[in-house]
Amino acid sequence: MQTQKQLLIAGLVALTVAAAQAAGDAKKIVVDGSTTVGPIAKAFAEYYMKAHPDVNITVSESGSGNGAKGIINGSIDVGTMSRAMKTEELDAAKGKKRNPVQHIVAFDGIAAVVHPSNPVKNLSKDQLRDIYTGEINNWKKVGGPDLKIVVISRDTNSGTYETFQEKVTKSERVTDRAEYVGSNGAVRQRVQSTPGAIGYVGLAFTEGVKALTVNEIEATTDNVISKKYPISRGLFMYTDGAPAAGTALADYVGLYKTADGKKLVGDQGYVPVQ
């Protein structure tokens, strides 16, 4: 399946490259990787193509792992990833004489949210972990009322889930009592209407629910940038070697440094790089 898909992608890339050459000098940038970074890559692509109609950018979202694979195989120009490349991936890239260069395009913070009527204000990261692994199942154990905790989680495919797992629950299993919903908005809706609920959402989705402080640190953009807030991560784009200045690729990847790029990142609900 995997190889079939890769073959297919490679075939498509070859075809499009051939088509682009036939069509003349049209520039082509192929982006693939994380679903979390996907919205940023797409917003950048739309913005850039509007200003440069001769450049064609295609953005796919097939997971961070495929972003890394694409860079290693040389099948794509930009690999988007919601985690840094692992050592094995870097070694594999070196083996193929590639030089992955990391660009941090944005930060992503995840807020733990509860019902507005919940008096609990702060949870330590360990308490948060124990709630999600099922060890703590009543709010009174963390200083709240005698109320059963309804654990709400994103579905296991989402980047938000991955980050939460990576930063909070780590290798432990999330309790089988956890309810799964399909989007940040759905988490917010469930938490908003359920007094005993706890959920986690991207920073842009805390309106109408109460965001907790984690380890006494507020989930704000500033605290994400200063890396004080514990549940956050960088979002990356990888290229093979630093793109030469003045090329479309360099302009596209470098968009995150511009004021417009920062605004686009913010519009997608992520934290722009300062």
Partner 1 sequence: MRTGMMNSAKSSLMLSRSANRNQRLTRWFGEGFLLVVTSLSMLAVLFILIFIARDALPFFSWTHFKEFFVSTAWYPTQNPPSFGALSILFGSLLVTLGAALVAIPLGLTAAVCLSDVLPFRVRQTVKPVVEMLAAIPSVAYGFFALIVFAPALQEHGGPMLAWAFWLVVTPFLALTLLVLADLAAARFAENRQSLVRGLVFALLGAMAAWGLWKTGRRLHGLEISSGTNALNAAIILGIMALPTMVSVAEDALQAIGRDLRMASYALGATRAETLVRVVIPAAASGILAAAILAIMRAIGETMVVWMASGNAARIPEPWYNLLEPVRTLTATIAGDMGEADQSAGSAHYHVLFAMALVLLLFSLVCNMISERMIARTRRRLR
Rounded to 10 deg, the angle between the 64-73 and 87-95 helix axes is 20
Smallest distance from partner 1 to CB 19, Å? 26
How far is the C-alpha of 28 from the C-alpha of 13, rounded, in Å? 10
Task: Name residue 6's amino acid.
Answer: Q
Cβ proximity to partner 1, 69 vs 98, nearer residue: 69
What the block records as the tokens of 170 is 């780590």
Quote the least distance from Cβ 176 to partner 1, whole Å: 4
Least distance (Å) between residue 157 CB and partner 1:
4
Select 65 or 74, whichever has its Cβ closest to partner 1: 65
Q: Give yes or no for a contact between 164 and 154, defined as CB atoms under 8 angstroms apart.
A: yes
Q: Which two tokens stand for residue 78?
A: 């930009």
Min dist. Cβ of residue 255 to partner 1 (A):
26
Distances (CA, A) of 228 to 58, 98, 160, 205: 35, 34, 19, 20
56 vs 66, which CB is nearer to partner 1? 66
Q: Please give the radius of gyration of the chain, using alpha carbons only, rounded to the nearest integer.
A: 21
Binding site for partner 1 (CB under 8 A): 1-2, 5, 35, 62-63, 65-66, 147-148, 150, 155-157, 161, 171, 173-174, 176-182, 186, 189-190, 193-197
Specify the residue, 122 or 189, whose C-beta has the smaller distance to partner 1: 189
The CB-of-209 to partner 1 minimum distance in angstroms stands at 14
CA 272 to chain centre: 13
Q: How far apart are CB 247 and partner 1 at their closest, in Å?
A: 29
Q: Tell me how far apart the alpha carbons of residues 149 and 169 are, in angstroms, rounded to a whole number.
A: 17
Q: How many residues can be counted in the chain?
A: 274
Q: Which is closer to partner 1, CB of 65 or CB of 266?
A: 65
**Cβ within 8 Å of residue 121, ≥6 positions away:** 212, 213
> Rounded CA gap, 205 and 250, in Å?
32
Tell me whether residue 69 or residue 210 sits nearer to partner 1 (CB atom).
69
CB 179, min distance to partner 1, A: 4
Q: What are phi and psi of 56, to 5 degrees?
A: -115, 120
Q: Judge residue 173's burial from the number of C-beta atoms within 10 Å of its C-beta, 0-12 exposed, 13-18 middle, 19 or more buried.
A: exposed
Contact status, residue 72 vs residue 92, Cβ threshold 8 Å: yes
Residue 155 Cβ, how far from partner 1 at the closest point, in Å? 5
Between 180 and 218, CB nearer to partner 1: 180
Of 63 and 202, CB closest to partner 1: 63
